[in-house]
Every structure is written in C-alpha cells, then in structure tokens.
Structure 1
Amino acid sequence: MTIGSAGEHTWRYRLWRHLCKTYDGPFSLVGPRETLHDKATDTPTSYAYADPDFPRAHLAGWGEGWVHMAPLIGGAVRESRADVLLVSLGLIDLGFYTDAEQTAENVRKFVAEARRANPRIRMVLLPVIPNIRAEADAPFGAQVALFNDLLAKSVADLDEPRSPILLASPPPSYDIHRDTYDGTHPNANGEHRIAGAFVEAMYQGWGIARPYPA
C-alpha cells in the first residue's frame, strides 16, 4: 500500500505534492529504497512511476510489515537522517505473520529502534484501514480491530515530548469498492485519502502544512 506498483503515483506522491504547495519550510522524502513493485515479475524492481520526476526515496516493501521493519528502521533513520516517520503497516502482519498482540509488540520494537537512532524522531502511525479480507473474514476482521485498539494504546503509552507520536485517524468514509483497485491496494482516490490522513494528523498535531483538500 505504501511502496506502490509500476505505473502508480502512490500516496507518497500525493503527500509530496500537497506539501510542495502548502508547507513553507524545507523538506525531503528520504529512505534507502526507490523502487515500485513490479507485478509482472513479483519483485521490487520497477522505476515506472506515473510521475517520473517524483522524489522516490522511501522505506517500504511489498509484503513487509512491522515484523520486517522493526529490525530495519534504526539503520534507515541513521543513514537518511530522518526526523519524521509516516508509517502505514499492519495488514500484512496480521494476514500472514503475527497475531494482534505480537504485531503490537513489534510496533514497540520499531519505536524503540527508531528512537535509538534519533532520540527526537517524530512519528505518525496509521491504523490498519478497511480492506476486503477484514470485510469477508470475521475472525480476521476481529484481529484488525483488536490490533487497532492495541496500536492506540501503544501510541498513548509511548508518546513523549521529545519524541512525539501521533495516531492518524483512518481516512473518513474510506470505501474499499471506490478507493481501492482490488479491495486492499489504493487507487488514485485511496492514495489521496491516505495522504490526507497523514496530513491531517501532522496539521492538527504539529501545525505542519495545511489541511488536505476534499
């Protein structure tokens, strides 16, 4: 949902475009990776962004979640000198690797490693948003709901003045039939809605940029 696929803009692009228009200070998108997922080869090897001039740096992976990112985030923060993390993870963890409690524990490991690399890092965490499996599979939907509750508790527990954490609100009225192309991965509508969720959290919490247009 964050890395995107060949030919897409990604929500990262929508966020970047909005910040270019509404944020007065300098900013850069950073991270050790640049590619999109290539569905034809099922590998993260494509550079075919819908806008080739988009600054492509990120830390995202197709099929990677909190369990994969917790060991990587410290090195990525140190190398890129990141000071704000925008994180959308969890669906793949719950779907294939960990239950809600284990995923919440990996959130805490991720936060600890990020802070070890930069004690003043700021973070915005997005809950798992609506998806086709949660709608069709009641036990899985219950795990998503439980994880989102645990994520909110983790944010409340781990938030601190020198390294604040914001819990973004899920995009309002997010509709998997209108905002995704397969019930999970965002289409252009979904990209705007996810970008807007991160912008709204930063605007309300830190006064960064201006609200995302409807």
Structure 2
Amino acid sequence: MLRFMPVGDSMTIGSAGEHTWRYRMWQHLRDTYGGPFALVGPREALHDKATDTPTSYEYADPAFPRAHLAGWGEGWVHMAPLIGEAVRAHRADVLLVSLGLIDLGFYTDAEQTAHNVREFVAGARSANPRVRVVALPVIPNVRAETDAPFAAQVARFNELLAKAVADLDEPRSPLLLASPPPSYDITFDTYDGTHPNARGEHLIAEAFAGAMHQAWDLGEPYTPR
C-alpha cells in the first residue's frame, strides 16, 4: 500500500462545493497506478467560507479518500512543525506539497520560507527516513501582477526551493521538484485570481502526476477524467 499525503494551503484544502485537485489526483491514481494506494492525513474537511472555518464536507463528489494535511491560510511555516507527527501517525510514503504563496504574502520572506522547507523535510524524514516528497513551486497569483516586490519574492523563493530540493535529495528519500503547469493562466484556471477552478485543479494534479511518472515511473501521463 502506497500512502500519499497532500499537503498545502487554500489551493489544496479547497472550499465547499469544489472537487479539489486532491480528487483529480485520486482519480488519476485509481486509474493508472496499478497497485493499492491511499490518500492519508489528519484532516478531511473543506474550508467553509461562510464561517471561515475548515468544517465543510460539501465536496462536489465526496466519494473519494478525502484525507489531507492542508489549511486555508497555512504555509510552510505552519506545516513544518506538524509534518513529523502527521507522517508518523498516518504512515505517509509520498508527500505532495503545494505551499509558499501564503508564507510570502503574510508571514516570511523567501529566505525564511526556504529555511522552513528544510525544516519540513527534516521533520518528515524524522518520522519516515524513506519518505518521498514532490514539491510544486509557487504559482504567482493576481497579487503578483500589481505588486512587484511580492512577485520578486515569489521568483526568489522558487529559486531557493529548487536549490533546497537539489541539496536535500538523496536516494533513500528522494525529493522531486514538479514543473509548474506551463499553460496555467490565472484568468482562465482560477475563479478569483488565486484558487483553482476545475481546469486549474486538473493542471495542478497533472503537474504532480507528470513529475512522478517521469522521475519514478509511477502511474501514467495525466489525462483529465
């Protein structure tokens, strides 16, 4: 049994009424992986925008393993202290991580955020020395179009993330940097300039799936379902 844990911010947890890219990934693995697998994590809910709490279970299609470690407004700075216990408790083998936008927007600069990436990896490996990690670079959102310093921080962090992945990668616990979806367009692939719509969900799932297929021969090339 291969256990995947999606880790992320608002783009990963999703909100009431959405499918989420987690669902798209589950569909892809179900149809292409060829072996037993599970989505695992300490949380299952969506974010409820009406109450601003992670308490909704109104998935567009709730019939899938909904476990995850994601939170609205959470970033590397929040997940680094949590990841060790989450990996240990849920015996995660592969972490699919999409974090960083909220860090850079509200909490830490690029260098501090990159430091938290390294703390995150150390915490995950303390629980499972053979854990595998796939990290998605930050996809610039609508704020980056008008806030030049923020856009520069996003670009700088993505450089530092690539360096951290290269520095920390090792055979028994491989780290993999996914390629940002080349066709991702915040006008067409989000509903508000940040959060993915259905097309955006597919593109994010495709980024993770493509990286794992190319590097680890896991599954097959992504086809939207």
Give the TM interval when normalised to the shorter protein: over 0.9
| Matched position secondary structure for 1:208 | coil
Aligned AA (1:19): L
CA contact (8 A) 1:71 1:113 kept: yes
The runs of 5 or more residues in structure 1 that have no matched partner are: none
C-alpha deviation, 1:213, in angstroms: 2.1
Aligned-partner Cα distance in 1 for 2:203–2:32 = 17
| Matched position secondary structure for 1:177 | helix
Q: Which has the higher strand share?
A: 2
* 2:148 is equivalent to residue 147 of structure 1: no
CA contact (8 A) 1:199 1:209 kept: yes
C-alpha deviation, 1:130, in angstroms: 2.6
Aligned AA (2:132): R
| Matched position secondary structure for 1:183 | coil
Aligned AA (1:181): Y
Q: Which contiguous aligned blocks of 4+ residues in structure 1 show a shift greater than 3 angstroms?
A: none
C-alpha deviation, 1:173, in angstroms: 1.4
C-alpha deviation, 1:134, in angstroms: 1.1
C-alpha deviation, 1:101, in angstroms: 0.2
* 2:223 is equivalent to residue 213 of structure 1: yes
Tell me the TM-score normalised to structure 2 length: 0.94
Q: What does 1:27-106 correspond to in 2, within 5 Å?
A: 27-106=37-116
- Partner of residue 111, structure 1: 121
Aligned AA (1:201): A
CA contact (8 A) 1:100 1:147 kept: yes
**Aligned pair partner of 1:183 in 174, 193, 211:** 193
Q: Deviations over 1:122-176 (max 9, x none)?
A: 0000000131011221110000000000000000000000000000000111100
CA contact (8 A) 1:37 1:45 kept: yes
- Partner of residue 7, structure 2: none
Tell me the TM-score normalised to structure 1 length: 0.99
Q: Deviations over 1:54-88 (max 9, x none)?
A: 21100000000000000000000000000100000
Number of equivalenced pairs: 214
Alpha-carbon RMSD = 0.7
**Aligned pair partner of 1:170 in 180, 183, 187:** 180
Q: Percent identity?
A: 81
The runs of 5 or more residues in structure 2 that have no matched partner are: 1-10
C-alpha deviation, 1:50, in angstroms: 0.5
Aligned AA (2:35): G
